[in-house]
Amino acid sequence: MSQQESLYEKLGGEAAVNAAVDIFYRKVLSDNRISSFFEGVDMEKQAAKQKSFLTMAFGGPHNYSGLDMRRGHAHLVERGLNDSHVDAVIEDLGATLRELNVSEELIAQVAAIAESKRNDVLGR
């Protein structure tokens, strides 16, 4: 076991994900740049997906492969999902963490993890 605290632990683990998920989902839904992608979806299922995303971005345990990311977003890419939308999500993620008083240093680390999924999400 590493003596160093992981990013996930520094952020507060599962409790931090739970604290962030409602705030993040609200930001996404009220963000005109991306809200149309969430129209008509089952909110409960979507909240669980947001939680999976946050767990991953916080450096927590997950089993998503690059292929999973491609498959999971292919229908959105068909509807026009592009870089500007990924930018919006990463911005909303940062704003969520700022609201929870997370340091800029850790926010940058979270953003970097999210950034590393960009090409898979956009299917390229």
Partner 1 sequence: MVNIRYAKDNFELAENQSVLDCLTGRGVPVPFSCRSGVCQTCLMRATGGTPPESSQNGLKDTLKLQNYFLACICHPTADLEVAMPNDDDVQAVIPATVKSLKLLNSEIMHVVLECHAPIDYRAGQFINLFQNQSIGRSYSLASVPHEDDHLHLHVRRLPQGRVSGWIHEELRPGETVEIRGPGGDCFYIPGNAEQGLVLIGTGSGLAPLYGIIRDALSQGHTGPIHLFHGSRDLNGLYLTGELRDLVEQYSNFNYVPCLSGGDVPHGFAAGRADDVAFQQIPNLKNWRMFLCGHPDMVKAAKMKAFMAGASMKDIYADAFNVSQSS
Dist. CA 27–CA 21, nearest whole Å: 10
Distance CA 5, CA 11 (A): 10
Q: If binding means CB under 8 A, how many residues of this protein chain bind partner 1? A: 22
| Residues within window 66-85 making contact with partner 1, judged by CB under 8 A | 68, 72
Told to check if 52 binds partner 1 by CB under 8 A, we report: yes
- Give the closest residue to 124 by CA, choosing from 79, 85, 73, 90: 73
Stretch that binds partner 1, among 1-9, 58-66, 86-94, 102-110 (CB under 8 A): 58-66
* 25 counts as binding partner 1 under rule CB under 8 A: yes
Place of tokens 């992981």: 6
Query: Residue 36 in contact with residue 10, Cβ under 8 Å?
Result: no
Q: Which residues bind partner 1 (CB under 8 A)?
A: 18, 21-22, 25-26, 29-30, 43-45, 47-49, 51-52, 55, 61-64, 68, 72
